[in-house]
Each structure stands twice: as structure tokens, then as C-alpha cells.
Structure 1
Amino acid sequence: MKLSKLLNCLNEYTVGTSQYSDVNITGIQMDSRKVVKGDLFVAISGFESDGHKFIEQAIVNGASAVVGEQSLSLKVPYFIVNNSRLALGRLASMFFDFPSKRKKVIGITGTNGKTTVSYMLKHILESNGFSTALFGTVSYTVNNQVYESTNTTPNPIQLQELLAKSLDEFAILEVSSHALTQARIEGLEIDYGLFTNLSHEHLDYHGNMQAYFKAKASMYNFLKPDGKALVSEFDFWGDKLSNVLGRKEIPVRTLGCSGNHKLIIEKINLNGETEFTVAIAENNYNINLPCPGLHNVYNAALAFLTAYEIGINPKQIVKALESFPGVPGRFEVVQHPRGAKFIIDYAHTKDAFEFCLQTAKEHKAKKITHIYGFRGGRDKMKRENMIKASSSMCDHFILTLDDLNGIEKEEMLNELSKLNLQFGQNKGKVIADRTIAIQTAWKKAQAGEWIFITGKGPEEYETEFTLPVSSDKEVLTYLQEGISEHFA
């Protein structure tokens, strides 16, 4: 694409070079190491490094032009913008010919439930003959090809490139608050914007709940002219969002358990099964969900409402939900030879903990054990409430290591010990090695006990532990294969 045409997507810029030749651009990069001849390099002022420091390296590697925020004198065409992040998203969308215009895009934001709702929707759509791309925490799937997930929401170049490659009719995107504040979806257009819930998370990044909410709400700035908002009003923030969107005259479809909603959840039965009824358009539909827990009722109801708005027959939606196979690392159950259940879940907030642990109570667990830790360099403010939730709902819990992210091991262990002493109610202990913590619970597991291992889900370990495994699931597989014969 000619540089002059590509620049049409930018509202304004200053030409930072005395000479401006209309070169042909063959690619866009934000990483100077990936630049090849013919690329446009966009210098981003990042949190750990400043892309402007690597402009010369990008030019050496073949960059034909550069976009940045600083006044510089370069030997290639250079354009100064107010915000390189916004420019990158718009340039990537323009370069790949606005791929989100050519398909139906579903954006899902919220603290908990994004991944489960996205997988439920993918299953419903594909069960009804629609090809579907998926971008989220677990992986990216395009044209049935699976790519490793680098972030919950891809960077603008990767997102627009994969959307351009996609021949899928629908694209489902988990939209994180970090992605929204970092302009990763700039240039994207969304048909259906979904909101799950909001709870204490990422306040080390956003500062407070109002700023966190504002970041989430900004996803609706990317709706297409005929786009719709679908909002779960099961908490204060959902109700607040509906009011905000209503004032902007954005069409809003809400769901709840009572009141004036497009979809109402009725007759919830969680006693050993997960059954509920949804009422919509003066019709009732009974659903027997294979995923346990009230939180999954809410997730399924949001997926149902979205599929209904898309135009899928409600009976076919029910059929798909009742055959939903689940999500890797989301309430993934592994049976112990003695009759205990080990559950792997990504839960890493107080609310998510309570959803999981309450589900065990609803299913009459004889004993509840919880194994988890905290990631280094993340929101410390939520840790006290997470331990309080675990200690109040569990019979026993084990604090262990998660990803340290540059924090010293002893520093993290000291914090775990201190939190356990303050808020553990004499129910917890600290075992530094995550694999040994799980092995300890495995050896002691009894019939009817539910043991939750939370925080990582399907993710691989970044820290090296004792057992020769790379994830929570692999620990359990290792223990099953190595120990199960003793319990035959």
C-alpha cells in the first residue's frame, strides 16, 4: 500500500522530515527486531521500554518510513502523531483493509467469565453451522487453526492480520481492560458488545474501580452504527453500564433474575445439577447445563441472549448449551482414585473464588481444600480479601507460589506467611513448591472431598518446581499415572 494512502486513516500528523517520498509500504511493525525492508515502523512509548530508542535499528533493518511522537530528524519519511498507540491501531486496520467490517464481531469484556462465555458462544455458533474465530486467554483460533495466545487480547498488528486471514463468519474477542487502555482494539468494529461483571482486579494498573469501569465501558466506543450492547445486570456495575450506554442512545439488551430485562433467569436448581429456565419474548426454555455453578448459569444466559439476538433458534441454543464440552482450565475436573474431585480453574479474584467454592457446597462436598498463590508484580490490594474468602468457605487451604514475575521468592513466601497468619483462621499453611502442594493434597484426598487448584488454569509454569511437569493439569496426570495403582 502506498504510504500516502495508508496515512489517510490518521486524523492529523506532522511531517517530521524535509523530504517525503511516497514509498510503498509492505508491512507494519512495532518491534524493531521484526522490521524488514519496506515496513512502516511505529515507535510506541511502552511501560518497560521506549520504541523511539529503536528507530535507528528499525531503519538499519529496512524500515521505509517511521511514525512516532517525538521531534526527530531521520533519513526516511517520518511522521509525528500525538498518540502512537492510537495511530498503530488505525494504521493496522487500514493496511489490512478493515477486516472487522467483513464479519460479525463479538467483543466480551468484564472481570470474570469472558473465556467461558466466548467458548459457549463459539460452540453455539458452530453447532448451528457458523464458522467462528476466537481470540482469548487460552488461545487464538482462526480458520480452525490454533495459535498460541500472547495476551488475552492480541496487539493491533496481530489482531488485524489474523482477522484479515480469517474466512470465518464470526469473530469472538475477549477484550481486557489493559487492551482497551493500550488501544489494542483501535481500528476494530464490533457488532455485539458483551459485559459479564466487574470486581476488584487490576487496581494496581487502573488505580480504582471507577477507572477500571471506565476502561471496560470504553469497549462500546467501538460498536458499529447498528451494534448492540448485551449487559449482565447481576451486580452494581452492570446496572451502571446500562445507564451510561442508555444516555449515549446505544441499544442495550439486559439480563437478570428479576425486573424489566430482555432475558430473565428463573427456577435455578444447583442441588447436584445445574438446571435453570430462561424467559425471553414470552417463552420459557429449560436448560440442563453440564458446567456446575451459579456463575456458569450467568455465563450461559449471556451466551443464550447473544445467540438469540444473532437470530439462532432458541431450541437450538438450548441443545448446544446442553452439549457444551467446557473450557480447558475452567472448572476442569480430575477424579481421584479414592473418590475425591480435583478441580483446576483460572480463578484469581475474590468473586471467582467464591463462585468455585460455593459450587462445591451446592454439590454437598464433604470437605473443601483450596490450593493457590499470588502472582508477583500484580495487585496486592485484593490478596487479603481472597484469603478471607478462601478461609471462610474452605476446610483447609494451601498457599503456594504462582509466577513470581521478578519478585524474590523469599519476599513472596514472607507475604504468604504473613497473610495466612493474619487472615487464615488457622486453616491454612504455606508450601512453597506448587507441585509438592498439589501432591500433598493428592496423598491426603478422601472420598467426597473437593480440592481446588486455582490461578493458572491451562497456563504453563514460569517457575521451576520439583516434579517434572509444566502445568497444574500435568501434575495431576503425573500423580494419576504414578500413584493410582496404590489406591486400586
Structure 2
Amino acid sequence: MKLQELVYELETKMEVTNKQVDETIQIRGLADNTNQIEEGYLFIAIKGFMKDGHTYIQEAIQKGASVIIGEEDLQNEEIPYVQVKNARRALGIISSKYYHHPSRNKTLIGITGTNGKTTTSYLVKHILASLGHSCALFGSIHNIINGVDYPSQHTTPNSLEINRMLADSKDDVVVMEVTSHALTQYRVEGLSYDLALFTNLSHDHLDYHASMEEYFEAKKMLFDLLKSDGIAVINTDDSWGEKLAETLQEEGTSTYRIGEMSGSDFRIVGSNLNPPRVKVQEKNEIAAIHSNMYGTHNMYNVTMAYAAAKVLGSNPAEILRAIQNFEGVKGRFQIMTHHEVNFVIDYAHTPDAIFHCLSTARQGGARKVIHVFGFRGDRDRTKRREMITITSEISDHYILTFDDLNSVSKEDMEEELHHLQNEHGNEKGQIVTDRTKAIKQAMELAEAGDWVLITGKGNEVYQQRYEIPAESDEDMIKNLAYQR
């Protein structure tokens, strides 16, 4: 592709403050990482949180880059340089152009919200695949393209990787989890969505966003990327969802509300949590949705997925059959039963998610609820007290332990756990920093009819080494159950 095509695309969509270019240059590829550069590539210098791509420009040139795009005012005589106001946004715009706007030729579904994105995305994919559509998935567990699973490094990849995957995909439909980080960092810039879903918004990522209002505005950005005839499906039982729906309707966006509130387009008019079943009324018709996923939170996920498939024109009876055959998502309220004790592995790492997990165990008839969880290093510390408060109110016993420490030392995290536990002063809780030993202790405390909930990691493998050899929470439970 000629450079002039990419520069023109930038000039029509954003401010180009300076360009020193021979626009007839042929661009053989794009890269924002010097490890990916080949001869004739265009290198986009991104200012990251840890590293500044501008410091790698000389390396990019040495490796064969023929053009540089960046934000700094550089006088470069070696190769053409294009200066822009926002390099992240520029990357999204030119990535989409370079790969011939691949999102335009597919049904693109974006799902955002604090909790429920992963379960809802897998469920939507399952429904549409069951109805005969070839369906890709970009998410926090795997990226699935043309029926092949690839490990996921980020919930939402960067814009260059997304457009590359979209171009490679021969699938009819692409279902994508979209985080607030991805939206504010322009990772989905240049994409056009047919359908956007909002699950909920609750306390999370306030180490990144300055306030809940700012967090909400970030989520709202997804709906600005809808095609002119795009559709929004919103959980309006959530107050932030109600605010979003009102705004979208004022803007003329086709908007469907789901929830128990009167006026919902897909209104929840009845539910049974054991076995899981929810009745949803649309106009004068009521659909009885049977699923294999427990909990009020999954009642909303199921309703959201049903509504999404329905507004895309799918047959209601076929949607219901597909939902009934869905077995759930690994690491999302995954139940493993051993010796009449239910062990639940869940990714829950927010106050709201922990509340729903523990409440579901209570509603499921737990004789006693034992909760094992921790806090991730370098993550939002403001939600930690609330998480302890919730578990102390609902569980019978909780064990604070390590999650991913990231750059935080073991000593600092242990001090934090003791500080929070002492501050709370609740006799229900204890601290066992080794995660494997904490799970083992929970199993030893549990008796027939009890539920043990292990939250925070979900399907993820351990980053730290622990005393008992295990790769994950699931692996740990299997090992202990075998030994018991």
C-alpha cells in the first residue's frame, strides 16, 4: 500500500501536525514494536506507560523501517516522518486502512462492562455458532479465529493486532470483549460495530480512571463506534446502564433495555436459581430460558445473550435450545464437587462480583460458605476494604491469601493483608499467604454440604511458585481431592 493512502486517511480523521514524506513510498507492513519490524515497514512510536516508543526510532530505522509516525516534533533526515497529535489513535486509523477496513465486512459485536463480559461473550458465540454462523471470539481467555484457539495476552488486543486478526478471520461474526482500558487507549479505533452490549458498571479500575464518572465515560466510547444502523443492548437495572440508555436514545441509537424494571424491552418477569431458569417477556411473548449457570449475575448474562441473538434476527426457539446446551465458561463460577463439597472457581475480583458469587452459594443451599481470595499487586486498592466487608457479611469463614503480586513484594502484600484484616477486626477471617496452603486449609475446614469459593484467578495459571505443586486453582482442587 502506498504511504499517501495512509497519510490521507490520517488527515481526514485526525490532525497531522507535520509531515516530511515522499508519499509514493510503498508500505510493506506496520509495527509498533521494533521486534516486529521488517524492511519497508512503517513504525508507529507509541508513548506507553513503561516505555516510550520514540526512544526506539533509531533501532526501527536500523531494522529497515521506511517511515516513522510519532507525536514528538522531530527533525529526521534519514527517512520520512509524520507527526500526529495522538499516535495510539493514528495506529488504529492506519491499521484499519492498511487491512482494508476488515470490521466492515463482518457482523461485529462488542461487549463492555465491569463484570460478565467473558461469560456473555462465550454465550453469544455459542448461540450464534449453534445457529450455523462461523463465529470468532476475541477475549480474556482465548482468541478463537477460524475455529482455532490462540492464547490471549490482553482482554482486548491493540488496534494493529485486532485488525490483523480480523483480516485473517473468515468468520461471519466476531464477538469481542472491550475493556475501558482498550477504549481510552484507542485499541478499537477504526472499528465499526453492528451490536454493542453493556453488562453493568461497578467499582473497579479506579487506579486508572479518576472517578466512576470517568470510568463510565470510557465504557460509553464503545457505543460511539456503532455503525449508523447499529444496535445497543443495555442492562438498565444498573443505574449507569439506565443513564447510558437514555443518552443513546436521545442520540437516536436503536437501543434495547434488559432487566426487571418496567419498560424493559426484554423484561425479566420471573426466575428460579436452582435449577437456573429465567422468564423473559418481550412485548406479549414470554420465553422460558433454561441454563446450566447458577446465580443472579448469570441470569442477567443469559438474558443479555438471548436479547443480543434475538435483535440480530435469530429464531427464539433455536436460541433457547442453544442456551440450554451451554455448559458455562472455565474459571467463571466453575463448580467442582468432591466429597459432597462444592468448590467454585471464579475470576471475581470486584466487590460486586464477589457479592454475587457468595450470594449464589447461599441461594444454592450452602450449609457453610468458605471464601479464599486475595488482592492483585499494582491494582485498584480502593476496593479492598469493601471486598473484605462483603465476604465478612456473607461467608462463614474467609482466608486472605496471595493473588498475582506483579511488582509488589511478598513482604509488602503480606503487610497490606494484615493491615486490612486488623482494621476490619473480624474473627471470621485469617491470613494464609501461600495460595495453595490457603486452598488446602479451606478444604480441610469444609464438610458435606459446604461451598468453598476461590476467587480472583479464575482460569489463569499461577504467576508465583507455592509450596504445594499446582498450576492453577483448578489444578490445586483436583490434586487435593485425589489425595483426600
Q: TM-score range by the shorter chain?
A: over 0.9
Structure 2 residue aligned with 1:108: 111
User: Do the aligned partners of 1:193 and 1:229 also contact (CA within 8 Å) in 2?
Assistant: yes
Q: Deviations over 1:430-473 (max 9, x none)?
A: 10110111111123321001000100101111111112222111
Q: CA deviation at 1:33?
A: 2.1
Where 2:234 maps in the other structure, the secondary structure is: strand
1:82 aligned partner: 85
The AA in structure 2 aligned to 1:252 is T
Compare 32-41 and 385-394 and name the one that shifted more.
32-41
Asked whether the 8 Å contact 2:236–2:261 carries over to 1, the reply is no
Tell whether the 8 Å contact from 2:237 to 2:261 is kept in structure 1 after alignment.
no
Q: Which residue does the alignment assign to 2:34?
A: 32
State the match for 1:268 in structure 2.
Answer: 271
User: 3-state SS of the aligned residue for 1:205?
Assistant: coil
Q: Distance in 2 between matches of 1:99 and 1:146?
A: 20
Matches within 5 A, 1:427-438: 427-438=428-439
Structure-2 change in CA distance of 1:477 and 1:210 (3 Å): same
Q: Which residue in the other structure is 2:405 paired with? A: 404
Q: Partner amino acid for 1:147?
A: Y
After alignment, is 78-87 or 3-12 more displaced?
3-12
Q: Tell me what 1:458 maps to.
A: 459
Residue of structure 1 equivalent to 2:51: 49
Corresponding position of 1:307: 309
Given that residues 159 and 189 in structure 2 are in contact (C-alpha distance below 8 angstroms), is that contact kept between their aligned partners in structure 1? yes
Counterparts in 2 of 1:21 and 1:92: CA distance versus 1, 3 Å = closer
In the alignment, is residue 239 of structure 1 matched against residue 242 of structure 2?
yes
Distance 2:36 2:115 in 1: 34
Alignment of 1:46-445 (within 5 A): 46-74=48-76, 75-270=78-273, 272-336=274-338, 338-423=339-424, 425-445=426-446
* CA–CA distance in structure 1, aligned partners of residues 130 and 212 of structure 2: 38
Question: Structure 1 residues 424, 169: closer, same or farther in 2, change over 3 A?
Answer: farther
Which stretch of the first structure deviates more once superposed, 468-477 or 149-158?
Answer: 468-477
Amino acid aligned to 1:438? I
**Other structure's SS at 1:334 match:** strand
**CA–CA distance in structure 1, aligned partners of residues 414 and 47 of structure 2:** 34
The one-letter amino acid of 1:9's match is E
- Contact kept in structure 2, 1:108 and 1:194, CA below 8 Å: yes
CA-to-partner distance for each residue in 1:136-184, whole Å, 9 max, x for gaps?
1111100011111111101111100000010111000100000001000
Distance (whole Å) between structure 2 residues aligned to residue 138 and residue 392 of structure 1: 31
Report the alpha carbon displacement of residue 423 of structure 1 after superposing the two structures with TM: 2.1
Aligned equivalent of 2:9: 9
SS of alignment partner, residue 385 of structure 1: helix
Quick one: which amino acid aligns to residue 275 of structure 1?
Answer: R
Contact residue 16 and residue 72 of structure 1 kept, 8 A: no
Root-mean-square deviation (CA), in Å? 1.1
Letter in 1 for 2:56: F
* 1:22, distance to aligned residue in structure 2 (A): 2.0
CA distance in 1, matches of 2:445, 2:259: 41
The aligned amino acid for 2:422 is L
Any conservation in 2 of the 1:152–1:175 contact (CA below 8 Å)?
Answer: yes
Deviations 1:183-224 (A, max 9, x none): 000011100010000000000100110000000001111101
Q: Say whether the 8 Å CA contact 2:334–2:346 is kept in structure 1.
A: yes
Contact 2:344/2:454, CA 8 A, preserved across alignment: yes
Give, in angstroms, the shift of residue 412 of structure 1. Answer: 0.7
Does the 8 Å contact 2:127/2:323 carry over to 1?
yes
The question of whether the paired residues in 2 share the 8 Å contact of 1:16 and 1:71 is answered with no
- Amino acid across the alignment from 2:323: L
CA distance in 1, matches of 2:333, 2:248: 33
1:35-58 residue CA offsets vs partner (Å, 9 max, x unmatched): 111110000111111100000001
Q: In the aligned structure 1, how far is the partner of 2:260 from the partner of 2:221?
A: 26
Instruction: Identify unmatched segments of 5+ residues in structure 2.
Output: none
**In the aligned structure 2, how far is the partner of 1:333 from the partner of 1:246?**
40
Separation (CA, whole Å) in 2 of partners of 1:255 and 1:416? 39
Tell me the distance in 2 between the aligned counterparts of 1:368 and 1:189: 45
In 2, Cα distance between the equivalents of 1:390 and 1:166? 43
Read off the aligned partner of 2:378 and give its amino acid letter: G
Deviation track 1:91-135 (CA, whole Å, cap 9, x = no partner) reads: 110111100000000000000000010011011001110110001
Write the distance in 2 (CA, Å) between the matches of 1:232 and 1:203.
Answer: 22
Preserved CA contact (<8 Å) 1:69 1:84: yes
Question: Normalised by the size of structure 2, how large is the TM-score?
Answer: 0.97
What SS class does the counterpart of residue 348 from structure 1 fall into? coil
Residue 417 (structure 1) shift: 1.1
The answer (yes or no) to whether the contact 1:373–1:401 under 8 Å persists in 2 is yes
Structure 1 counterpart of 2:215, which letter?
Y
User: For residues 343-369 of structure 1, what are the alpha-carbon distances to aligned partners after superposition, in whole Å with 9 as ceiling and x for unaligned?
Assistant: 000000111011111111111100000
Q: Distance in 2 between matches of 1:365 and 1:252?
A: 39
TM-score, with length taken from structure 1:
0.97
Structure 1 distance, partners of 2:296, 2:193, is 28
AA partner of residue 417 (structure 1)? H
Task: Give, as a single letter, the amino acid of the residue that structure 2 aligns with 1:217.
Answer: K
Q: Please state how far the C-alpha of 1:424 moved relative to its aligned partner.
A: 5.2
Question: Which deviates more, 121-130 or 240-249?
Answer: 240-249
SS in 2 for 1:277: strand
SS class of match (1:469)? coil
Query: How far did 1:258 drift?
Result: 2.8
Gapped regions of structure 1 (runs ≥ 5)? none
Task: Report the alpha carbon displacement of residue 15 of structure 1 after superposing the two structures with TM.
Answer: 4.2
**Distance in 1 of aligned mates of 2:18 and 2:155:** 35
Identical columns (%): 43
Instruction: Give the Cα–Cα distance (whole angstroms) in 2 for the partners of residues 348 and 276 of structure 1.
Output: 26
Verify the 8 A CA contact 1:16 1:73 in the aligned structure 2: no
